[in-house]
Structure 1
Amino acid sequence: MAWRDAKASRVRLLLFMASIILGIAAVVSIQLFGDNLKNNIQLQSKSLMGADYIIDTKQVPTQRAQEIIDSLQPDASEVNFVSMASFPNNEGTKLVRIRGLQGKFPFYGELETQPIEAASQYQSSGGALVDATLLLQYNIKPGDSIKIGEISLPITGALKAIPGNTAISTSVAPLVIIPQRFIEDTKLLQFGSRREYQFYYHQPQVDLVRLEAQLQPLLAVEEADLDTHTSTSSRLGRRYDNVGSFLNLTAFIALLLGCVGIASSVNIYIKEKIKAIAILKCLGASRKQSFLIFLIQIAGIGILGGFIGAALGVGLQELFPYILKEFLPFDLQLSISPQPILMGVFLGLVMSVLFALVPLLRTWYVSPLEVLRFSGDTLTESKNARRIAIGIILVFLYGFSFWLLKDWLFALAFMLGVLVSFALLAGTAILTIKLVKNFFPKTAQFTTRQSLLNLSRPNNQTVVLLVAIGLGTFLISTLYFTKDILLDKTEIDTSSKSANLIILDVQPDQIGEVAETFKSNDLPVLDNIPLVTMRMHSIKNKLVNKLRTDSTTQVKEWILNHEFRTTYRSELIASEEIAEGEWVASQSESDFVQISISDNLAKDAHLSLGDSIVFNVQGVLMETVVKSIRKVDWANLQLNFTIVFPEGVLEKAPQFNVLTTYAATEETSAVLQRDLVKKFPNVSVIDLRQVYTVVEDILDKVSWIINFMAFFSIFTGIIVLIGSVRTSKYQRIKESVLLRTLGAKNKQILTITALEYLFLGVLGSLIGILLALVSSFLLAFFVFKESFVPSLVPFLVFLPGISLLVVVIGLSNIREVLKSSPLEVLRKSA
């Protein structure tokens, strides 16, 4: 009976099935991609690092650290730092990351260059490997030269890839690789220069777990660190786990949306089968038999939908390496594992049955007397059975969310968020329908009045359609609004009062000449900020060296190993405000030093007002006390500091300076950078406009990925809409016949249908955008601590675009409605 009835209703059942296919495809593709990513990270863990393990330090290794490094016999070493480079052929300058390599690194993976032989020859020939994209930007070819500090080197080849590197990581400072023996000749590593020393080991036979357990505590005391390929790949895996969880939840929302469509469509489907079920019961069918007939149908389309969705998901996973390639540090090798595919089939079956369960319960309570009743819904359902069915659905959804997130609290928060979103959309839709029904002017034109009153007719799917349209619009609008918030936080003020060029590592004897270079280019010196480097010696009378080995300490590890760049000044800047305590502008050297720290440092180091910190300032211990805690806006693109000293204390300490200026045009900026690099090879110039462009580019890429996932929700909503139109087809034919019998013309019927779907499209997308506005405002206020100016894109593009799409889909069924004969329909009704 299930098979026979399904053949007669195959179009509807196929549309039910289509509602969940995309959601299943999204979940399966992301699960497959996640499995492949984990497998690739494990298989390529050595290629990601290029070695079995490395020891790194952000300062010249101490004597003890060097003894440990030498005892292990490193196979390669590296010094890397950020500096300016220039191209004499076209006078171009660029901030780059210099990596001075010695030895045959990498030992795993490949150093990819063009020409290929450049990777093996640059060490012996004394040339440089320059990022391929950078060469294209400046129209430079292998054979040309690059000037780094005091030396010029021939460009041996274009650098295409190196283990552990991504396109995003080189956006601000592209890579330049040179032989390590030339680093000293560049004269770039002066006082205050940030650099990193790395020592690579090719020792596959070593027990890495044991080695890390033995050496890490010893190296931590010497402010060095040991990383193995297994620990690095583990951290990378956890990072991509977070991305995978987000993508999984987005796909899960699309699947939920399709399931809501199934629940609504099955509800109407079962209502139309009431007479048939009553006849079956008159012929002796039991409750169980009538229930199983339709349960088997829904289970069948769920399994079939699961197979189709899983097959589609296998194809979709091929897209992810292209979508995420700039965020991945390796080439992804894809394979197909059975678990996600089986999960897709399981999801298709369970989700279809669960969400159809509530309307399917109606079949249990159909009375044989329904055959004799002409109209009206006289069914009485068990409220307890309905509650149990809804409870089972919620338990399953929470269980699946927990399986995706591996955290009960996050899963609960996600479930509550989904329920609140659905409730808000559905509640707003129901309230709007009631307002239209009760308060819409009865003097309005017939076509307008009839189209709006159709929203509350029997068997309407208005709420489901508004939820589907609204949720899709809500997701994609929230993305655009959030992107605006992030960009506003990083946007650079275009007024001449705000610096957009930062010159780093200016030595004290260079300040006058650098300022004169500004003046010769008609540019002002906006800031002259002194920087003093130091490390923490003790925190609240506890030595940092002991805290490093104390497993019970609550002080964050980064603080214990960090080299702080501090400054001194007499006043606050625009990006900070006092949260606790009092600001100290100046004091004499003889007074106890009173400092101001940022709120994030206070939180991570568990510091409060009055706590003592002893700093090691280039070998001199300085006792300080926390006098104030500042709230700092780190997203503001200017120089912010975790620690600020008052004037009168650090003036005689070894220091270097940072100067800032404002260049109105890119041409002016380029000329200044060229002049500075010629005169002062050691300084580095950061153009904040380029940083902003990189940030915007990264956000665009992230937005594209999220848009790609939001597509599943939007498209699922469209399928739910098409299913609704097809499900209510016969009902619309009956309404059309009645209207034509009363004298309505085809043009009026067409207008009524178009206005109804236009209202649905406008209301659904408007509700989605308004909810997105509210959520984005809350994000801006509570999370980003930023003012919110919404983008007009959702109002100008999404609102009319989605509304038009809804109207087109709604009218796709109208031709058959208009062509139906009144007599034919009336005979069917009789």
Structure 2
Amino acid sequence: MRLILSQAWKELWAEKKFALLFLVNLSLGLSGLVSMEAFRDSLKKSLDENAQSLLGADIAVTGRRAFTPAENALNEKIRAEAESEAELAETFSMLRTPAASRLVMLKGISPLYPLRGELELASGAKVGLGQGPGLKPGEAWVDPELARTLKLAPGETFSLGAKQFIVKDFVEMDPTQGFRGLALSGRIFLSLEDLKATGLLKNESTASYSRLFRMKAATNLRERAKAWGRAYADPGIKVSAAGDAADESGRLLLYLGDFLGLSALVALFLSSLGSAYLFRTWLVRRSRTFALHQVLGLPFLNAAAVPGVQALLLAIGAVPLSLLFGLAELNALSRLVASLSPVEVVATLSLDSALVALGVASIGTIFLSLPFLWSLKSLYPKDLLGGKLPETGLRPAAAALFLLPAVFLYGLAVYEAQSLRTAGLFIAALFIALLFFLLTGALLLFALGRLAASAKFAPWPVRQGLLQLSRKGFTSLSAFVALALGALLLNLLPQLRAGLGGELGDAGGTGRLPSFFLFDIQEEQLAPVEAALEKLGLKLENQSPMVRARLISVNKSSYEKDPGAAGFRTREEEMDARFRNRGFNLSYAKGFNEAESLAEGRPFSGAGAAPELSVEERFAERLKLKIGDRLLFDVQGVEVEGTIVNLRKVRWTSFRPNFFVIFSEGALEGAPKIFLGSLPELGAEKKEAVQGMLAEQFPNVSAVDVRATVNRGLALADRMRWALNLMSGISLFAGIVVLFSIAFRQAELRRWDMNLLKILGAGAAELRAQVLFEFGVLALVASTFGAVLSLGMAWAFSKFFFDGAFRADWPPLIFSVLGCTLLALLVAAAGARAVWRRNPAELLQEQGL
């Protein structure tokens, strides 16, 4: 073993350029995984450290309605185990001041709130566990941004429902705020008694009620929360431990990390492609040394161990460099994390990220080198010594060994995405893209070869460039695939953003969005609200009743809450559990609205038929429901059963009142309900008039500014896209490094040919033109095909996930193709420069001529 290590090290030291190229290739691909592992570790650590502050307690019991006597009895049992308790109620309302009218979230808090963590006020005071200045009757703490919008200064008064309030202070930091960026409105803190006195907490209002508990130090919070959660019959009553709240608050960032990790796998794949090319050319170059070792009596396995150990040494050596690159990428991501995270995240490299890099580098390199090493077994030493080099590809047995790195890549995808389905889709998409590029690349090379044969009168650099592309099949295909995949990933995100923006009606969109989405219209308020809107020349559109219910059984089988299994859970299992552990908002209708379409089954039978159900198709998939299933609901004490007769598609981006489950007419009309509706696109003056009217006459009716909400969502998507573009850029850079490696190695391998051409009269300018034409054509076609496939994938994504019309964004597409081509030309020139500038006499001297 010592002899093998010694020989491997000596050969690597003698070939520093090869070693350096291999290190850079592999470390660049590993760096994305390193930064993503560190990102997730840092985020999870920060969330865990701040879990209790995010919840404001150790355990919380939350429902979307007031607790029943039986539920309050259970709450009291938890209180008996706790050290202290606080209460919280939240609801929406319209608030009007002389400056403006806006939707606000009201938080009614009891004196001890929060039990964990602190509220920081603008005056410098800190409030928590009964410490600091409490809220006295008639006082309010206001979100600073909301105060600026409404021009509320300390000491000024405003009205909410039946009560007047004075602005006492501003809340600069609320640790329970959770994920930033998509809040519907600013917050106002009131005492719980004051909120009840406003009259805004009506029976059917959209509100949240919480009992918060500070537990004794030795309590296992997650276990106690699960145990108490099973005691509540209504799935809509949620018992959360502090750790659950932390997971909920950081979920979107964790999802972002998952998809960034998949993007990093593309960079790893590209760098692996480059490393595989380098390793193969390295084997070809040292094949005579390999044969000599066997002639001298070294067994095949020992002889093959030398290049295998070299690959492993290089893989291990790439880890420190990947940590350095990963740290730079992590620092770039810190800005995004700081603007979105509910807690302060100190992003640092961890031991786990270093171990992941070491494991992936070592195992991946072993798996990747095995097919090439095994291919040497079919060649005899006398052939290798005679100059027969392994240029003809891989035999079936050796090619089959590529299944090992493929399976390993799928395992990494599952680890990164935390989802079997997403990982499968990712690998399938990558395989489809790879197959597409391999086929188009092969056809391109064949066509170029035919063109070179027929283009007898073309300039010499053009003919030679075409011939070199067609003759070096493996090399040209490697460069083509690397550049095409990089261009695909770089263009995919802008095209998705353009399609989503067009569907949501942003700048340049169709303006289909409603101006306001109204909710919490009480049944007795519907006619007065319609009359008030008519006075403003408006009509309440898309009126939809909403009835709260609890699912009791499916096909006579009891519908149980998900208890929350321990151990690893995929993202799909987490999502299914969240859907299972929720109450239901039901509606009833005669048929479909404009945002709905029949996916499977038949329409409702009509009046007089037994209650029938229409279920949104993806919701049915998550809950494993199908046509013909009978669902029994508890509608506020009354049991109502219906049969699923159809599954429907819903275009959620329409921002109409849409529901997962809809009854046919005749089943729910007598149930307590609220109404939802929307208003069409309005001018700024009319919007202010509507908000002012609602705040003055119907303060419990909430109006969400749809356009402002969409713009915040798109701005958030743009911030996340910055992080995804970073990973896309790394992937493209990995492809460029592959191209540089290929250009450099090809120049080295063809140095004799190039210098012979010089001797025969070819000038450096002609050789340079040949190389630039060769790689320029390759880069232009590869980046074009990558851009074209990005359009196809963006179209498929838009249709599958958003059911919306696809809209291409051409300028970024064109600039990316031109930019990739120009960059490839510069890189190819840099890789081959040393050879075409070399004096032919030096080469002749090397050969002893």
Change (3 A) 1:797 1:84: farther
Within the candidate set 602, 609, 612, 1:581 is matched to 602
From 55, 70, 83, give the equivalent of 2:93. 83
Report the Cα offset of residue 537 of structure 1: 7.4
1:474 aligns with 2:494: no
| One-letter amino acid matched to 2:541 | D
CA contact (8 A) 2:653 2:802 kept: no
Deviation at 1:337, TM superposition (A): 4.1
Question: Which deviations, in whole Å up to 9, do the C-alpha atoms of 1:337-382 show, x marking residues without a partner?
Answer: 4343233234334434443444456777574676665xx6478999
Matched, 1:96 2:104: yes
2:747 maps to which residue? 729
1:53/1:200 contact within 8 Å kept: yes
2:280 corresponds in structure 1 to: 267
In the TM superposition, 1:52-67 aligns within 5 A as 52-67=58-73
> In the alignment, what sits opposite 1:302?
315
Cα distance between partner residues in 2 of 1:405 and 1:626? 33
Q: Is the 8 A contact 1:99 1:175 kept in 2?
A: yes
Give per-residue Cα distances to partners, 1:794-821, cap 9 Å, x unaligned.
5222111111111111122455444322
Amino acid at match of 1:56: T
Q: Does 1:157 align with 2:169?
A: yes
TM superposition shift of 1:720: 1.5
Change (3 A) 1:517 1:742: farther
> Separation in 1 of the partners of 2:748 and 2:783?
27
Q: CA RMSD in A?
A: 4.0
Question: 1:700 and 1:415 mapped to 2: Cα distance?
Answer: 26
Work out the number of aligned pairs and report it. Answer: 818
SS in 2 for 1:641: coil
Q: Which residue of 1 aligns with 2:735?
A: 717
Question: Residue 121 of structure 1 aligns to a residue in which SS?
Answer: coil
Q: Does 1:199 find its partner at 2:211?
A: yes
Distance 1:495 1:413 in 2: 32
Query: In the TM superposition, what whole-angstrom CA distance separates every residue of 1:203-226 from its partner, at most 9, and x where no partner exists?
Result: 224454664465434432596332
Structure 1 distance, partners of 2:391, 2:622, is: 62
1:665 matched to which residue of 2?
683
Task: Please say if 1:11 is aligned against 2:7.
Answer: no
Q: Which 5+ residue runs of structure 1 have no aligned equivalent?
A: none
Tell me if the contact between 2:86 and 2:112 (Cα under 8 Å) persists in the aligned partners.
Answer: yes
Structure 1 residues 315 and 121 mapped into 2: Cα distance closer, same or farther (>3 Å)?
A: same
Matches within 5 A, 1:639-658: 639-644=657-662, 655-658=673-676
Alignment of 1:388-403 (within 5 A): 389-394=401-406, 396-398=408-410, 400-401=412-413
Where does residue 27 of structure 2 map in the other structure? 21
**Separation (CA, whole Å) in 2 of partners of 1:597 and 1:653:** 20
Write the distance in 2 (CA, Å) between the matches of 1:528 and 1:666.
Answer: 22
Check whether the contact 1:303–1:346 (CA below 8 A) recurs between aligned residues.
Answer: no
TM-score of the pair, normalised by structure 2: 0.84
* 1:499 alignment partner, SS class: coil
Which 10-residue stretch deviates more, 799-808 or 820-829?
A: 820-829
Using the TM superposition, give the Cα deviation of residue 105 of structure 1 relative to its aligned residue in structure 2, in angstroms: 2.0
1:686 to 675, 696, 704: 704
Unaligned runs of 5+ in 2: 1-6, 565-572
Matched residue SS, 2:175: coil
Q: 1:612 to 1:386 in 2, by over 3 A?
A: closer
TM-aligned CA distance change 1:681 to 1:799, over 3 Å: same
Summarize the Cα distance change of 1:64–1:765 in structure 2 as closer, same or farther, 3 Å threshold. same
1:790 aligns with 2:784: no
1: CA distance, partners of 2:101 / 2:390: 81
Q: d(CA) in 1 for partners of 2:385 and 2:254?
A: 56
Summarize the Cα distance change of 1:5–1:680 in structure 2 as closer, same or farther, 3 Å threshold: same
Residue 428 of structure 1 pairs with residue 428 of structure 2: no
Q: CA deviation at 1:321?
A: 4.4
Native 8 Å contact 1:192 1:505 kept in 2: yes
Q: Deviations over 1:596-623 (max 9, x none)?
A: 5544565667766676666666666666
Distance in 2 between the 1:459 and 1:653 partners?
A: 72
Q: How many angstroms apart in 1 are the aligned matches of 2:110 and 2:720?
A: 36
1:566: which partner in 2?
587
Separation in 2, partners of 1:541, 1:380: 63
Provide the identity percentage. Answer: 21
Work out the CA distance in 2 between the residues paired with 1:388 and 1:643: 49
Q: 2:516 aligns with which of 473, 497, 501?
A: 501
Q: Deviations over 1:20-64 (max 9, x none)?
A: 112222222322333344444444332332211112221122122
1:812 corresponds to: 830
The change in CA–CA distance for 1:707 and 1:524 in structure 2 (over 3 A counts) is same
Query: Equivalences for 1:120-135 in 2 at 5 Å?
Result: 120-124=132-136, 126-135=138-147
Task: Please state how far the C-alpha of 1:505 moved relative to its aligned partner.
Answer: 3.0
Aligned AA (2:17): V
- Provide the C-alpha distance between the structure 2 equivalents of 1:766 and 1:104, rounded to a whole number of angstroms: 63
- Are 1:219 and 2:232 counterparts? yes
Contact 2:234 2:550 survives alignment (8 Å): no
- 1:109 corresponds to 2:129: no
Deviations 1:691-712 (A, max 9, x none): 2212212322332222222222
Q: Contact 2:42/2:346 (CA < 8 Å) preserved in 1?
A: yes
Report the 3-state secondary structure (helix = DSSP H, G, I; strand = E; otherwise coil) of the residue aligned with 1:200: strand
Q: Which amino acid is 2:39 matched to?
A: F
Find the counterpart in structure 1 of residue 180 from structure 2.
168
Q: Which amino acid aligns with 2:337?
A: L
Say whether the 8 Å CA contact 1:277–1:366 is kept in structure 2. Answer: no
Deviations 1:386-410 (A, max 9, x none): 3475354445445555655677777
1:738-749 correspondence to structure 2 within 5 Å: 738-749=756-767
One-letter code of the match for 1:115?
A: S
Q: Given the superposition, is the C-alpha separation of residues 158 and 470 from structure 1 closer, same or farther in structure 2, using an over 3 Å criterion?
A: farther
1:525 maps to 2:539:
yes
Whether the 8 Å contact between 1:433 and 1:456 is mirrored in structure 2 is: yes
Cα 1:153–1:445 change in 2 (3 A) is: farther
Once the two structures are TM-superposed, the CA of residue 156 in structure 1 deviates from its matched residue by: 3.4
Question: CA 1:378–1:359 in 2, change beyond 3 Å: closer, same or farther?
Answer: closer
Report the Cα distance in structure 2 between the residues aligned to 1:787 and 1:284, rounded to whole angstroms: 68
SS in 2 for 1:85: strand
Q: Kindly state the Cα deviation for residue 478 of structure 1 after the two structures are TM-superposed.
A: 2.5
- The 1-side partners of 2:640 and 2:179 are apart by 42
2:368 matched to 1:355?
A: yes
Instruction: Check 1:334–1:797 CA distance in 2 against 1; reply closer, same or farther (3 A cut).
Output: closer
Q: 1:439 to 1:146 in 2, by over 3 A?
A: farther
Q: SS where residue 461 of structure 1 aligns? A: helix
1:707 and 2:732 aligned: no
Equivalent position of 2:193 in the other structure = 181
Structure 2 distance, partners of 1:293, 1:284, is: 14
Q: Which residue of 770, 783, 794 maps to 1:765?
A: 783
